[in-house]
Structure formats: C-alpha cells, structure tokens
Amino acid sequence: MGGPLEGIRIIDWTIWQQGPVATQMLADLGAEVIKIEERERGDPGRGITAVAGSATNKGGRNYYFEANNKHKKSIALNLKQPEAREIMHRLAARSDVFVQNFRKGVASRLGLGYADLAAHNPRLIYASASGYGPEGPDSGEPSFDYLGQARSGIMNAVGTGSTAPTYVYGGIADQMGAIMLAYGVLAALFARERTGIGQEVDASHLGSMMALQGLNVVARTIMGKEFPRNTRANAYNPLWNHYRCADDKWISLAMLQPDRYWKDFCEVIGKPELIEDPRFAEVKIRGKNSAAVVAIFDEVFATRPRDEWMRVLKGRGDFIYTIVNSVSDLPEDPQVRANDYVVDYDHPALGNLTLLGMPVKLSATPGEPRGHAPELGEHTELLLTEMLGYSWDDVARLRDANVI
C-alpha cells in the first residue's frame, strides 16, 4: 500500500533545508509535493558546492539538494510577474497545504500571504518555517541553522563546561525545525478533517530546538538551573557514561538506576573489590567520588577490545549498554539495516545510492523514502496544462514573457 498522505497536495515554496526537508518528509508519507522555484536559478540549495568544507558534488548532482527534495515536482516561476502569482493562486485553490520559509512579510508583499491564498481556498493549511517564531521583536529577522543553534542554547548545552559554545554539524536546527513543521501540518490536516477549517502553522528554529531540549529547559524554569556541562571524567553516575576500549572504539553505559546494577557490574568487569569500598557504597556517595570510579573504569575498559566487552556484558548480566557509533558507522549498522533506517535506491542518474529511510513505521500505510529530486522546472509545462488547464499556446506565451 501507499503512504497515509496519498491524495494530499502540497505547494512547496521553500529554499535551503528547513522548509524543503519538512515537505520531503510529507512526500515520503505519500503527499504530492509541487516545488516552486525561482525561474532562472531555482532553490539556492541547488548551488551549494560545499558543506563544512566537504564538496557536495556527486556525479554532477548536488547531494545537499538531492537529499532535501526527493519525490517533488518542480515548477519554475518568475514571481515578480503578475501572471506567475496568478499561477500560484490557481495552485493554492487546488491544494491542501502551502509551505514557505521566507522572511516575515515577503510572501504578503508578493500577494502570497495567508489572507491572499485563503481567499482562493479557505480550507488551505498555510505553514511557515521561521527563525524565531511569528511574534516578538526578532520575528522578522533572518535565521540559518547556525543561528538556530546559537539562539536556542544548544551550543552551550553540548560539550563540557570548559569549552566554547559548540556547533553541531549537519543542520540539526534545520532538521528539527522541519520535523516540527511537518508535525504541525499533520495536526492542522487532522483538525481540518474534523472542522473543515484551514489555518496557519508556524515552526521556528528557536521553538523547535527548545522542544528538542525540553527536559533541560524545564529544569531551568522549575528548578532554577539547567543541567551542568560535566565532563565524562567526573560523570555523577559512572554507569551513565562512555568508555574507550583497547581498540580505540567506545562503549556507552546507560544504567539510570545504578545501585540496581552496581554489584553485578563490578563482578563482571573483574573489580569485585569495589562492591565493599565505602567510597562507592551507594549512588549519592559514589557521585561524590565519581572521578575515582571513572578513572578505574577507564583502566578496565582499556584492557579489551569493544567487541569482547560487548560479549562479556551480554553474556553475564542484564545490563543496559551499546556501542558508540560515528555517523560513518550508521549505514552498515545491522540494527539500522534491519529497520530500513537507510534504504538502497537505484537513482535514474546516479545509479545505486543509499538514502535515509523512514524513521517512523506504519504497518498498513508505510510510505516510501526512495526517490529523487527534480531538475529545475522539470514539471512546469505538465502542471500548467494537465492540472491548471492552461493551453499550449498559453504556455508558449508565458515562456516568451519570462513568466515561466
């Protein structure tokens, strides 16, 4: 079967990453997504040549754009032309969702704001991906992923107390903003099914990244302070920590109730003398002496390769632990493969690729993560003639007038 959003049409007037990823996620779930691009250059994401100093070119294609725009149809318009805006109005009248991520006021100045499009389709869901939210003194300010991480506090939450603010590569504020925007669109579509009413949806870098850090933020608002940026060398609970093994690979422990596991764990790693050591008697006392425990565990784990430690822990107790992967490890992780969190795809231009799979499993309507991004304006003529009722003479005239 297809995806749960089959029959839903989305107009995607977004650029870069936050907006395009949101609509792509909805396309993975079966929605038809029509991407509106600037007539001559298209989404500026097409022109990205490097990310974090690494080239984006893959067989003449840009993997950054390819990764964010699977499944979509592309129509190229010059939105400075009134006839192009008329095309947008006609698209909106035949669609369920409109998504945009331009600075506050841009859409309205072009006649593409919520009020403009709702006049053509009162049931329309109008979704905006913003930097800092629709209200407040900075609501009109531009934002990119770097600023989303900066403003949301996460750059001061990762790392340790002695490090400078730390940026997490890969566009996580864009990705999280996209997830929250798609979440909002789904909620609005559900509400429309019950009420028949369209509405506006906004998801921002700031709000989305605060949601990602929900427990930390609420610790500050309720208890008065955020979680400390501790180093692993003085982790309060040494059984909630990660350790380097003899082969320079890392293992992670996550035993949130350490007293439950302490005796068995000490015996399994060959340190039974720690059980009776008064410095480590129970969690609060152990927390005050955690640096000593971590130092002992560091020495112990450094004596064997990680695979051996994994077998030891698996075979001799009910412990909670796993390997510490790098991003490069993920595509070949057997657990990733077993759940299709990455999938193989025969790209029409690039051949065999591995793509990000579906993070959510639906048993009856699973969706489809395999697909490719369109060429600039690839579907312009098809959409104008088959969906919107333009004649081929109209298409020729619009092209001659630099509208399409």
pTM for the full predicted model? 0.95
What's residue 230's pLDDT? 84
| pLDDT at residue 389, as a whole number | 97
Q: Give the model's pLDDT for residue 60.
A: 85
* The pLDDT of residue 52: 84
Q: Contact at 8 Å (CB) between 375 and 41?
A: no
- Cα separation, 387 vs 376, in Å, equals 19
pLDDT given at position 196: 97
Q: Which two tokens stand for residue 399?
A: 């092209």
pLDDT tens for each residue of 297-333: 999 999 999 999 999 999 988 999 999 999 999 999 9
**pLDDT score at 317:** 85
Q: What is the mean pLDDT of residues 395-402?
A: 98
Residue 285: predicted pLDDT = 96
| Two structure tokens written together for 327 | 């991003």
The predicted pLDDT at position 115 comes to 98
Q: Is the pLDDT of residue 373 over 90?
A: yes
Q: How confident is the model at residue 59 (pLDDT cuts 50, 70, 90)?
A: confident
Residues 6+ apart with CB under 8 A from 149: 155, 167, 168, 172, 173, 205, 209
387 and 90 in contact (C-beta within 8 Å)? Answer: no
- Which tokens is 331 given? 């595509």
Calpha distance 186→182 (Å, rounded)? 6
Give me the pLDDT at residue 374, please.
Answer: 97
Distance of CA 225 to CAs 81, 219, 241, 336, Å?
Answer: 53, 6, 22, 36
pLDDT at 161: 76
User: Cα dihedral sign for 280, 283, 288, 289?
Assistant: positive
Interval 155-213: pLDDT, tens: 999 988 778 999 999 999 999 999 999 999 999 999 999 999 999 999 999 999 999 99
247 pLDDT more than 90: yes
Average pLDDT, the chain: 96
What are the tens digits of pLDDT across the range 261-275? 999 999 999 999 999
pLDDT over 70 for what percent of the chain?
100
Q: What are phi and psi of 397, to 5 degrees?
A: -65, -45
Residue 90 CA to residue 398 CA, distance in Å, equals 15
Q: What confidence tens digit (pLDDT) does each residue in 331-362 have?
A: 999 999 999 999 999 999 999 999 999 999 99
pLDDT at 116 over 90: yes
Residue 3 reports pLDDT greater than 80: yes
Mean pLDDT to the nearest integer, 215-236: 92
